[in-house]
Amino acid sequence: MRSDAIKKGAQSAPHRSLLNALGLTKEEMNKPLIGIVSSQNDIVPGHMNLDKIVEAVKLGVAMAGGTPIVFPAIAVCDGIAMGHLGMKYSLVTRDLIADSTEAMAMAHAFDALVMVPNCDKNIPGLLMAAARVNIPTIFVSGGPMLAGKVDGCKTSLSSLFEAVGAYNAGKITEEKLEEFENKACPTCGSCSGMFTANSMNCLTEVLGMALPGNGTIPAVYSDRIKLAKHTGMKIMELLEKNIRPRDIMTLDAFKNALTMDMALGCSTNSMLHLPAIAHEAGIELNIEMANEISAKTPNLCHLAPAGPTYIEDLHEAGGVYAVMSEINKLGLLKTDLITCTGKTVAENIKGCYNKNPEVIRPVENPFSETGGIAVLKGNLAPDSCVVKRSAVAPEMLKHEGPARVFDCEEDALEAINSGKIVAGDVVVIRYEGPKGGPGMREMLNPTSAIIGRGLGSTVALITDGRFSGATRGAAIGHVSPEAAVGGNIALVEEGDIIQIDITANTINFVISDEELERRRANWKPRQPKITTGYLARYAALVTSGNRGAILEVPKP
């Protein structure tokens, strides 16, 4: 065992002395040491219950013959960080989480790991760490929040952001806004729609790194505690069989994840996280393959914000495995892959079926014949950009209009809220990319303001930043190359005609080659917005969104 390095032989007497100081008995030291990475904190609603999940995991590990040892991981609540300086610190924590977990796992010679995340960046961050460290590892999340209810209809945090836009437009009263505020988020857990956290928790099941139900069992259900206990037990089996993350997270597993991403209608942030996780597993995942997969994968779920159903509804309909079983009727999944259950994908989904065709459409009657996410390219995004096609109004799948150009989120939001953006416009928000932000902020406030003002079917938004999974509408993000490195989005001028064709996967602005080169010759790099601390180091190392915004040390 790896932990023998700190437990066995005379040379390890000092190490054993320190383990004694922890109160560990000889019996505990003689068992495998299982690191449990806890993302619990008291500021993130999706994490306030993780102490209970961790205690259940510890019990499961102990019951199966291991010694559980807990250490922490940070987590940022994107909702609380939204719309101010804090959002610059969201995506960047993904790498802090991966790095710190690697450091703890390697420094203390754990034999295996159980990851306990729940929200947007610590799920991919811990998956990155799992692939990097590559010792037996399994995941169990804290689970999704239950949906709220307003006027008898289910609702969520995204509804509240849109309610702010409606209030600013004079469409609802302050009292109605307060009602949304008090009812949208009724329990602990990751926000209740198919937003980024739930997208990644569901895809962790698909990748084979979590037991069934990880993505969908609500946070407040007792079944979540049982799942955590079973996860603690299962890690001991993975350790015994020496099944490691890179055995599970193969190229075919990532293709399965992209396929299910399309079927479920996941957050566009998955197009950042999957390539970054794959990179840590030694796999270069070109997101342009998403279009090839999307072309043959029907979209079966319209979970909020794309539709009126929520993660709790997906759970009752059979969960992720039911969607996998439905999609596999078309032979679109690689099913002979090993997973953390110790079984193959085929064995896992055998007998799973769709219990509610209104929540999970049958493959014969999908919401659309193609997948939920599209990757676009053109002279505005020569490397690529991404849109959640399943959350776009049909009339906006093809759109042409004048550019309304803003160099930061705040300026765009002020223009939207003051009525300066009108039907037909294309809002362009730039210098918000990984380097330019720095940190690639989410644009949920501007997109929600557009929806709240009733412009969701007439106005598009394009950015080199990114979007919350709660965003809906013709919101096109991850434009690469970004403005800060001289990408063409930096050369768009007010009034330029922008042509978007999501069905054809194209995005262009009308400009001659000569004019484009003239503008390029006149463009000058901007001074960094932040020049000290972690964000400055991050900006120096981060790559474009189309590569997953991974950190890359410059070659000498």
Identify the pLDDT of residue 469. Answer: 83
| Whole-angstrom distance, CA of residue 497 vs CA of residue 401 | 5
> Within 242-360, where are the H helices?
245-248, 251-264, 270-280, 289-296, 311-316, 319-327, 345-349
- Which pLDDT band holds residue 249 (cuts at 50, 70, 90)? very high
Measuring CA to CA, which residue among 295, 236, 212 is closest to residue 57?
236
Residue 182 and residue 249: Cα distance in Å, rounded? 41
Tokens of 430: 């730039």
pLDDT surpassing 90 at residue 556: no
Taking residues 130-136, what's their average pLDDT? 98
| pLDDT score at 395 | 96
> Torsion angle of alpha carbons 319, 137, 50, 216, nearest 10°?
0
Which residue type occupies 33?
L
Kindly report, residue by residue over 359-407, the tens digit of the pLDDT: 999 999 999 999 999 999 999 999 999 999 999 999 999 999 999 999 9
Is residue 274 within 8 A of residue 164, CB to CB? The reply is no
pTM: 0.97
Query: Would you give the DSSP letter of residue 176?
Result: H
Q: Measure Cα distances from 442 to 155, 232, 301 in Å.
A: 21, 34, 23
Query: What was the pLDDT predicted at 468?
Result: 87
Whose tokens are 């904190």? That residue is 41
Which carries the bigger pLDDT value, residue 556 or residue 61? 61
Q: Strands 67-72 and 33-38: what pairing?
A: parallel
Q: How confident is the model at residue 470 (pLDDT cuts 50, 70, 90)?
A: confident
Interatomic CA distance for residues 303 and 314, integer angstroms = 8
| pLDDT, position 553 | 80
Could you tell me the pLDDT band of residue 280, with boundaries at 50, 70 and 90? very high
Structure tokens at 28: 């505990």
383: nearest Cα among 433, 342, 312, 437:
433
User: What would the two tokens of residue 336 be?
Assistant: 């002979």
Give me the half-sphere count of Cα atoms (radius 13 Å) on the Cβ side of residue 39: 34
pLDDT of residue 412: 97
pLDDT, one tens digit per residue, over 33-58 is 999 999 999 999 999 999 999 999 99
Give 284-312 pLDDT, tens digit per residue.
999 999 999 999 999 999 999 999 999 99
Name the catalytic one among 199, 267, 448, 468: 468
Whether the Cβ atoms of residue 353 and residue 320 lie closer than 8 Å to each other: no
Under a CB-based contact definition with an 8 Å cutoff, are residues 97 and 122 in contact?
Answer: yes
Q: Are 376 and 476 in contact (CB under 8 A)?
A: yes
Mean pLDDT of the chain: 97
Helix (H, G, I), strand (E, B) or coil at 410: helix
Q: Are 155 and 180 in contact (CB under 8 A)?
A: yes
Q: Find out whether 310 and 379 touch, Cβ atoms under 8 Å.
A: no
The pLDDT score that the predictor gives to residue 54 is 98
Give per-residue pLDDT as tens, 177-230: 999 999 999 999 999 999 999 999 999 999 999 999 999 999 999 999 999 999
> What count of other Cβ atoms lies within 10 Å of the Cβ of residue 9?
10
Greatest C-alpha distance within the chain? 76
Structure tokens at 72: 């922490």
Catalytic status, residue 390 = no
What's the token pair of residue 70?
């807990």
Using one digit for the tens of pLDDT, what is the confidence trace for 228-245? 999 999 999 999 999 999
Supply the pLDDT for residue 148.
97
- Angle in degrees, 0-180, between the axes of helices 444-452 and 409-417, rounded to the nearest 10: 10
The Cα–Cα gap between 320 and 265 comes to 12
Lowest mean pLDDT among 33-42, 336-345, 441-450: 441-450
Backbone dihedral angles phi then psi of residue 249, each to the nearest 5 degrees: -90, 75
Position 554 scores a pLDDT of 74
